[in-house]
Chain A
Amino acid sequence: MSGPLVLGIETSCDETGAGLVRGRELLADSVATSMDEHSRFGGVVPEVASRAHLEAMVPVLDAAFARAGVKPSEIDAVAVTAGPGLAGALLVGVAAAKAYAYGLGKPLYGVNHLAAHVAVDQLEHGPLPSPCVALLVSGGHSSLLEVPDVTGIVKPLGATIDDAAGEAYDKVARVLGLPFPGGPPIDKAAADGNPEAIRFPRAKYHDGTLDFSFAGLKTAVARWAEARRDAGEDVPVADVAASFQEAVADVLTRKAVDACKRNGVGDLVIGGGVAANSRLRAMAAARCEASGIRLRVPRPGLCTDNGAMVAALGASMVAAELPPSPLDVPADSSLPITDVLVR
């Protein structure tokens, strides 16, 4: 299979990513993360992330080209996350992408990070059905989108009104004495727990919207654990983790299936770091099956932030012959999802 050869650069949070995609074929996905430097602070420190992006950028680019076995001069375009994300972190990637595009004499595409999370699934499961519904869940975002055309038309259906789902994982992990980021250790602890041991609240479950809220759930878990400790009892970490995870997966998958049904859409794509969660994947598979919805979830390595997803979206834009972004394209930390390509 051939198609445009596109370099994608991603720096919206703690991952410095450079990916190379030809058409819908993944050639290389090179990622450096500063997560180790953030873990002792219990959250991503923007300035630490930005400093790490500067140091990692050229090595990550070099590694991507070496792995793909292509020369920089062979690429057709450079795509970069222009937003949303951490302002200072985005700027490093955007400046790098401009320098690379200008230095090689190639067009530049400043793209939306959330649309890239959807587009990456094409690398594994082929062209996206039109339209599809996308559920994007990570430490930074929790959104439901209707996607008629990932290169240009993306409509918000719902989003979190407070914490992102991944943030709730991080905060609950802290309450349980588990490390940051909270997703993987909670998933692991939950494997030995009873998901029905504690009935944690499902906020906005019956409110008829496609929005989420996770702040109350996080507080409910903290309050429950405190009560046990105050009573001089141990906190059953596995049961709390499993019950918390059950509540998150229940709300996310219910609303995602709802979004498909209401809009008459038969395909659901899940992306973002929380899409690596085993319970979310299993529950989504069961509920989609029961509702006759086709489910597409990329492998975990492509769900978390990376350059390949940006390259995948950029390659679709080049294939669609969209005009590129100008060299003065800004980074926008609160880029709306409706701005898929920034011009």
Chain B
Amino acid sequence: MLILGLDTATPAVTVALHDGERPLAQLVTVDARRHAELLAPAISRVIADAGATRTDLTAIVAGVGPGPYTGLRVGLVTGRVLGAALGIPVYGLCSLDVIAADVEPPGTGFLVATDARRREVYWASYDAEGNREDGPAVNAPADVPRRGRPVAGEGARLYPSSLPGDIGPAYPAATTLCRMAAFALASGDSSRLLPPEPLYLRRPDAREPGAPKRVSQ
């Protein structure tokens, strides 16, 4: 088993390679505006760093967000097309679940919140064992039903007054994405993985036009 994991649902472009037992290489670059420039070279680099070649890959797993659309799509189209080129399966995982999997158990339920731009956050809530209870959804930070629980993800750093109690991490880790996928695949139950479909959570901004405006008075 050789799994390539990638996530572009946050400002972090994160790529990792995993043999099913342990991570072999990973690369993280935080740059919200250059996902498409950074991702393919990062994949090439991670595979080379692990002493592997692209044809050794057996599966790809990509974070499906929710996340700002443009960056999110870069990761998903890359995963889908690379999978098609190599003839290997491509799976998805909720990017908020990936962050949740790296939270040090706080002994209570907790939230994960990431930047949705437009002064909103993508969020989900988890129980003390890290199982998702609610979400993913998108709301203004003050409207997230927090119920006093601590918050992981960049949302806690961006909106500390509405989302206090930062328990980190800020971004999903591709090594964790790989580990979760490896675990699901090893159990022989790939139904625990999602199809590589984006979680946009918002409709495109578009309004149907009214009657043409008058041009003369």
Contact = CB atoms under 8 A, between A and B. Distances in A.
Nearest to B54: A103
B208 A54 contact: no
A88 B36 CA distance: 10
- Which bracket fits the contact residues of A? 35 or more
Contacts of A219: 215
Contacts of B86: 103
Contacts of B32: none
A47 B205 contact: yes
Contacts of B212: 174-175, 222
A127 interface: no
Contacts of B214: 226
Interface of A: 40-42, 45, 47-48, 50-51, 53-54, 57-58, 61-62, 72, 87-88, 91-92, 94-96, 98-100, 102-105, 174-175, 219, 222-223, 226-227, 326-331
Contact of A95 (B77, B198, B200): B77
B77 A92 contact: yes
Nearest to A175: B212
Given A45-B206, A103-B86, A328 B216 contact: no
B106 to A, nearest CB: 36
Interface residues of B, number: 37
Interface stretch (B39-47, B134-142, B162-170, B174-182): B39-47
B44 to A, nearest CB: 6
Given A40-B208, A45-B204, A96-B77, A105 B44 contact: no
Given A102-B54, A105-B54, A58 B69 contact: no
Give 3 nearest A-B pairs by CB, closest first.
Answer: A103-B85, A47-B204, A98-B40
Given A102-B54, A219-B215, A329 B81 contact: no
Interface string B190-201: 000000001010
A220 to B, nearest CB: 9
A331 B215 contact: no
A330 B36 contact: yes
Nearest to B34: A330
A182 to B, nearest CB: 12
Interface string B131-174: 00000000000000000000000000000000000000000000
Given A92-B73, A175-B212, A227-B216, A61 B84 contact: yes
B70 A50 contact: yes
B189 interface: no
Contacts of A100: 81-82, 84-85
Nearest to A174: B212
Given A92-B73, A96-B81, A326-B41, 17 more contacts: A42-B209, A48-B204, A51-B198, A51-B200, A53-B73, A91-B70, A92-B77, A95-B40, A98-B40, A100-B84, A102-B44, A103-B82, A103-B85, A175-B212, A226-B214, A328-B40, A330-B36
B78 interface: yes
A54 B198 contact: yes
Given A88-B70, A91-B70, A99 B82 contact: yes
A50 to B, nearest CB: 6
Contacts of B40: 95, 98-99, 102, 327-328
B28 interface: no
B65 to A, nearest CB: 12
7 contacts: A51-B198, A91-B36, A92-B77, A100-B82, A103-B81, A329-B37, A331-B36
